[in-house]
Each structure stands twice: as C-alpha cells, then as structure tokens.
Amino acid sequence: MPHTWPVSRTTATPSQEVAGELSVSVAVAARRLGVAPATLRTWDRRYGLGPSQRDGGTHRRYSHVDLARLDYMSALVRAGNSPAQAAAAALAREFSGTESLADLGATETTLPVGRSGGGNVIATPGCDRRARGLAKSASALDQAGCASIICESLHEIGVISTWNELLIPILKSVGEMWEIRQCGIEVEHVLSTAIQVEFSRHAFNTSTQVTTGTVLLGSVAGDDHQLTLWAVAAGLAEAGVGFVHLGGGMPLENLGDVISRTGPRGVFLWSQIDGNADASRLADLPSIRPNPRIVIGGPGWRNAPPAHVHVAQSLASAVALMSEVAAD
C-alpha cells in the first residue's frame, strides 16, 4: 500500500479541486488506503474521521489531509494499537497531506493504553498486528474498536480466514486467562458481542447475493451459544447459500416441526456445553423428501450420531458440507 499520494494537477477536474487540494471519493480513498469502504464509514461514524470536502452536491470527498490522517490511523492499528487510541492520536496531530509514514513514525508507534479497560491484558504470542490490535481493544473494553477491526478483516480476508487467523487465537487466549487467573469474563463478553454483531451484519449484508437453497441453523435445547452459528451463517452467505438462523435452545421436537414445514436442504446443529446433547436422538428427526443433510458441530455432543449425520470439525467443513447440499 502506498504511503503517499502524488498530486497530479493536470488530471484534476474542477469538481475535484477544492481549496487547492485534490479530493477523492470514499471508494477511491478505500483503495488507496487498502481498507474496505465499510471500514472508512465506520471510522467516520465512530471516531469523526470522515471526509471534509464536498463535490458541490451531496457527496463528501477526502482531501489529502484527510487521507494522511487516515493512513496514519491505519498504520497505528496495524502496529497493534486499538482503533479508538489510533483515532484519538490521528485527530490530535496536524497534517499537511504530504507526509510519509516514515516521517510520522507510525509504523513502530505503540500508544499508551487508556485507563478504561482495567488490567486484564490478553496474551498474543505469535499473533500478527491485527490480532494484537484486537486483543488490545478487547482488553481496554473498547467494543467499537473490536467491531471495527473485525469488520475490516471480514471485508478484506473473508469469514473463514477471519475466524481462523484473527478470532480463534484471541478467543483461546481469553479462555486461558479465565481458566488460569479466573478473570477476564468482561473481556470475553465485550469481544463476543462485537464478533456476533459484525458476523450477523456481514451475514445479512451478504445474503442479498444468495443463489442456492436454504439451510437451518440452531443450537440444541439448553444451549444458548450462538457465536459459531453466526460464523456459519456469515460463511454460508459468502458462499451464496440461504440460511434461517433459529437461535439457541432449540428442542429437537420443535426443530422437527420446522423441518417438516419448511423442507430445508440442510440443518446445522451446534452443542457447546459438554455432554448436553445426545447425538443418537437425531434419528428421531422427521424423514422428508428430499431428506435434508444433517450436520452437527461443537464439543457438547455425547453418543454416536446416526450414520446419515455428518460431523463438522471446523467452520470451513461446516460451510462446505452445507454449501454442497444447498447447491444440489
């Protein structure tokens, strides 16, 4: 990603020239900065880092100073700072619009952590800068910052890579913090809420591109865990597969009624709580034609499932198994 933007006065049109500066649209700014347009809109809404110019109509445009400020913020986030910290630092600094990141020193800058998050710091050994930024935001209870990083990752690398490369390492560290030190539950709740919100938003925003049959998603009775369900929903939406999210705590009897009524192409059931769900009872689900593919996941299943039931060992396998049958 380039860190400076050369000005070409010969190519600027009068409508682009504002107060002697070249201005660009949100889409162009996103490409130059290497982030998704949705990320820029989020930074504008949450932190006030939006375009300062207008094109003579209703469209807002980014000036060179705006772009320099955003590039500085983006570099600070990649260096492991939370978006909230990076935004505050970018807003507090003066820019001419001609600086390089080397001039600003943003690539190696680690900002001091604010006081709002307390002392529950997530360990991030071996994690990349984006993961370290997410860990820092979660530790500081900066939920908006967590959401911004997750949103950016979803748009840049997709659902499955975001889940495997960004979220799983951080969620494991949070779990270890609780097991070892009996602390950090508030960090886990802040992070989980941000994940669920961004994955559900991504699922519904992407679902307009759905091209294949519908599958049902739910957690078993007595289990309200829905984080993985939203990850599967978002992955299916990216693959063009329609879904109906039934939520947590779905008794098999009620699920059977839904299957009979809707005739889905597939059903994904999640069980998180150890030993909570009896996989052998899946044989009681109604038989319809064509029979939906039943896929289960999670550590909470006991007993062997019927032969026709598939077991997903990962998010990628759950999405693949559901996508295959939906496309038939």
- Could you tell me the domains of the chain? 17-108 (1.10.1660.10), 129-202 (1.10.1240.10), 210-327 (3.40.50.280)
DSSP conformation letters of 84-118: HHHHHHHHHS---S---HHHHTGGG--PPPPSTTT
Residue 267: beta bridge partners?
Answer: 216, 294
As given in the structure block, the two tokens for residue 214 are 């519908």
Residue 98: predicted pLDDT: 75
C-alpha–C-alpha distance, residues 325 and 107, integer Å: 46
- Please give the DSSP secondary-structure letter assigned to residue 248: S
DSSP H/E element including 17: strand 17-18
Residue 40: predicted pLDDT: 84
Residue 31: predicted pLDDT: 83
C-alpha–C-alpha distance, residues 215 and 183, integer Å: 38
C-alpha–C-alpha distance, residues 230 and 197, integer Å: 9
C-alpha–C-alpha distance, residues 315 and 228, integer Å: 8
Q: What burial class does residue 155 get, using C-beta atoms within 10 Å of its C-beta: 0-12 exposed, 13-18 middle, 19+ buried?
A: middle
As given in the structure block, the two tokens for residue 66 are 């705006």
CA atoms within 13 A on the CB side of 21: 20
Q: Tell me the pTM.
A: 0.67
Residue 153: predicted pLDDT: 95
Q: Which residue type does 280 have? A: S
Could you count the other beta carbons within 10 Å of the beta carbon of residue 95? 18
- Please give the DSSP secondary-structure letter assigned to residue 44: H
Residue 102: predicted pLDDT: 59
Residue 111: predicted pLDDT: 55
- Please give the DSSP secondary-structure letter assigned to residue 270: E
Residues of the chain predicted below pLDDT 70: 1-22, 55-58, 78, 80-82, 99-121, 123, 125, 179-182, 207-212
Q: What is the pLDDT of residues 235-256, one digit of tens each?
A: 999 999 999 999 999 999 999 9
Residue 3: predicted pLDDT: 31
Please state, rounded to an integer, the average pLDDT across all residues of the chain.
81
Q: Which residue has the tokens 């019927």?
A: 306
Residue 67: predicted pLDDT: 86
